[in-house]
Structure 1
Amino acid sequence: MVEQKSGRKFHFLGVLLGVAVDNLGTLVSTAVFGSLYFGNSPVSEQDVNALYSNTGLILLFLVIGLFWSFLGGYVAARVAKRAEYFNAACIGVIGAAIGFDSMLRNTGVPLWYELVGFFAIVPVSLLGGYLALKRNKTRL
Structure 2
Amino acid sequence: MEEQKSVRRFHFLGVLLGVSIDNLGTFVSTAMIGSAYFAGNSIDPNDLSAVYANTGLLWILLIVGLFWTFLGGFVAAKVARRAEVFNASIIGVIAAAIGFDSMLTSHEVPLWYELLGFIVIIPVSLLGGYLALRRKQTR
2:25 maps to 25
Distance 2:16 2:46 in 1: 35
2:68 corresponds to 1:73: no
Distance 2:82 2:124 in 1: 19
2:24 corresponds to 1:36: no
Q: Deviations over 1:117-136 (max 9, x none)?
A: 00100000000000000111
Query: C-alpha displacement at 1:76, in angstroms?
Result: 0.3
Distance 1:18 1:86 in 2: 12
Structure 1 window deviating more from structure 2 (35-44 vs 72-81): it is 35-44
2:50 corresponds to 1:59: no
Aligned to 1:39, the other structure's residue is in SS state helix
How large is the RMSD of aligned CA atoms in angstroms? 1.7
Aligned to 1:6, the other structure's residue is in SS state helix
2:32 corresponds to 1:8: no
Aligned to 2:6, the other structure's residue is in SS state coil
Paired amino acid for 1:122? I
State, as a whole percentage, how many aligned pairs show the same letter: 67
Query: Which consecutive segments of 4 or more residues in structure 1 shift more than 4 A?
Result: none
Paired amino acid for 2:97? A
Aligned to 1:72, the other structure's residue is in SS state helix
Structure 1 window deviating more from structure 2 (33-42 vs 14-23): it is 33-42
Distance 2:107 2:96 in 1: 16
Distance 2:50 2:33 in 1: 15
Q: Deviations over 1:25-76 (max 9, x none)?
A: 000000000010112985122xx11111110110000000000000000000
Paired amino acid for 1:124? V
1:103 maps to 103
Distance 1:39 1:24 in 2: 22
Distance 1:69 1:115 in 2: 16
Paired amino acid for 2:50? A
TM-score, reference length from structure 2:
0.92
Distance 2:46 2:128 in 1: 37
Query: C-alpha displacement at 1:108, in angstroms?
Result: 1.1
